[in-house]
Amino acid sequence: MELNIACIPGDGIGPEIINEAKKVLDAVAIKYGHKISYNTILLGGASIDAYGEPLTEDTIEKAKSADAVLMGSIGGDANTSPWYQLPPAKRPEAGLLGIRKALNLFANLRPAVLYTELEDACPLKKEIIKDGFDIMIMRELTGGLYFGERSTTTDHGVRKAVDTLTYDEIEIKRIAIKAFEIAQKRNKLVTSVDKANVLDSSRLWRTVVNEVAKEYPEVKCEHMLVDNCAMQLVRNPGQFDVVLTENMFGDILSDEASMVTGSIGMLASASLNETKFGLYEPSHGSAPDIAGMDIANPIATILSASMMLKYTFDLDKEADEIEKAVKLALKDGYRTKDIMSEGNQLVGCSEMGTILAGYIK
């Protein structure tokens, strides 16, 4: 298969971690007989430096012409970078929001995986985490409270603010379909999270999810109120497979889920549109304070590349090969600085990529 990938190195540690992801992807391509074409495009601070804009039309068009986008990290130090002297619409993060909108990326995937080798970093007790957990948070990314009509007024001297939470059945159906499709590749369980005991939008959400569930009889569908889900994530995270929810609930729950893993440097993410197209990136930031020092952890980006193989290209075996390599590296004691613990071997960003590519070869 020929894979046409647009690469956005981005800012800070972005170029370093993207290089290691490409190293691992190239090893997969050699082993399985694929051909990968990379097209490097600029976004964020790097684009501001080059073009005076965080996102150009050329970047958008090149991203759209690719099969998928693999991105490093965007942004810099808000206290020292000249990028943050610019108006908000001209800052690096505006480019990130802009490309998500331009590519219609409505489905956000945030896996929260606890590897047994890193269980000491988890804040939960051993009897709770047991043999680890592997959760996929599916967050609707372009609707709900964050995108509804809002206003702030003063009436008879009293200030009043209104935010509107709106979903239509089309928005709900398309994210639900994605969740059930992804559950088919995993453990065939979807937990749809809402607040249907209070909100009309949640009652519609639950109705539409039940309608979609009928089309996927091999996948079990259950419903959970958001407050209960927040408790269950720290009480028994192993019970979850795919967690499907709306924008604001997903924002909160995905951050909670990432914290119980104890290591943000290991967390991948993806944003998908209605086709197989997606933008894949690590969940962590650009870490400008360690840029160029070869100490960043590239594993989150490499696991994002694994998600790209699985969800855009349907190369499940190749994706599993990358995940297996990560588990072997951790089992053999290789650690970057952020996940280092006594008795293990400290390696740099570049060496970790080389090690993972070596396991694949």
Residue of 234, 232, 302, 242 whose CA lies nearest to 266: 302
CA distance 280 to 335: 23
Residue where the block lists tokens 């804040």: 123
Give 20's strand partners: none
Long-range contacts of 164-170 (CB under 8 A, 24+ apart): 165/199, 165/201, 165/248, 166/201, 167/140, 167/143, 167/201, 167/204, 167/205, 167/246, 169/204, 169/208
Query: Would you name the residues annotated as active-site residues?
Result: 146, 195, 227, 251, 255
3 state SS of 103: coil
For 175, residues 6+ apart whose C-beta sits below 8 A from its C-beta are: 106, 107, 138, 140, 244
CA distance 17 to 268: 12
What burial class does residue 344 get, using C-beta atoms within 10 Å of its C-beta: 0-12 exposed, 13-18 middle, 19+ buried? middle
Q: Which two tokens stand for residue 86?
A: 């610019």
For 316, residues 6+ apart whose C-beta sits below 8 A from its C-beta are: 185, 309, 310
CA distance 241 to 192: 11
Neighbours of 177 (CB within 10 A): 15
CA distance 291 to 299: 16
Q: Are 260 and 130 in contact (CB under 8 A)?
A: no
